[in-house]
């Protein structure tokens, strides 16, 4: 009966020592690279806001056809006013 108890205690002791050994190897000898989710999400939002601001502040470049149409409308309205 005592040999069964000794066997159980020794088995539990071996399992505990093995578990602690793997834990030591995993956490103290390897570098875990962790990204902070808050910083990652904050960077994404900052990039999005910067992109929207650049689009908003971008000067509007009118092409030649729109300028030509505006000139034609002005000329037509002036002509109609004179008639």
Q: For residue 39, is it within any domain?
A: no
Position 16 confidence tier, pLDDT thresholds 50, 70, 90 = very high
19: in domain: yes
Residue 37 lies in a domain: no
Determine the structural domain holding residue 18 and report its residue range: 2-31+44-82
Token reading at 60: 């509007």
- Cα–Cα dist 8/16, whole Å: 12
User: What is the DSSP code string of 32-46?
Assistant: -----HHHHHHHHHH
Q: Tokens 């470049």 — which residue? A: 61
Does any domain span residue 55? Answer: yes
| Residue 38 within any structural domain of the chain | no
In a domain, 36, yes or no: no
Q: What is the pTM of this model?
A: 0.38
Question: Which whole-number Å values give the CA distances from 76 to 42, 53, 54, 62, 72, in the listed order?
Answer: 54, 38, 37, 21, 6
pLDDT tens digit sequence for 20-54: 999 998 888 887 766 677 777 888 888 988 888 88
What number of other Cβ atoms are within 10 A of residue 77's Cβ? 10
Give the total number of structural domains in the chain.
1
């Amino acid at each position: 009966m005592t040999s069964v108890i000794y066997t159980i205690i020794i088995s539990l002791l071996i399992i505990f020592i093995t578990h602690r050994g793997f834990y030591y190897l995993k956490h103290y000898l390897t570098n875990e690279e962790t990204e902070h989710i808050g910083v990652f999400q904050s960077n994404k939002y900052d990039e999005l806001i910067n992109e929207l601001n650049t689009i908003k502040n971008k000067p509007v470049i009118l092409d030649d056809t729109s300028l030509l149409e505006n000139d034609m409308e002005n000329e037509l309205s002036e002509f109609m006013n004179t008639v």
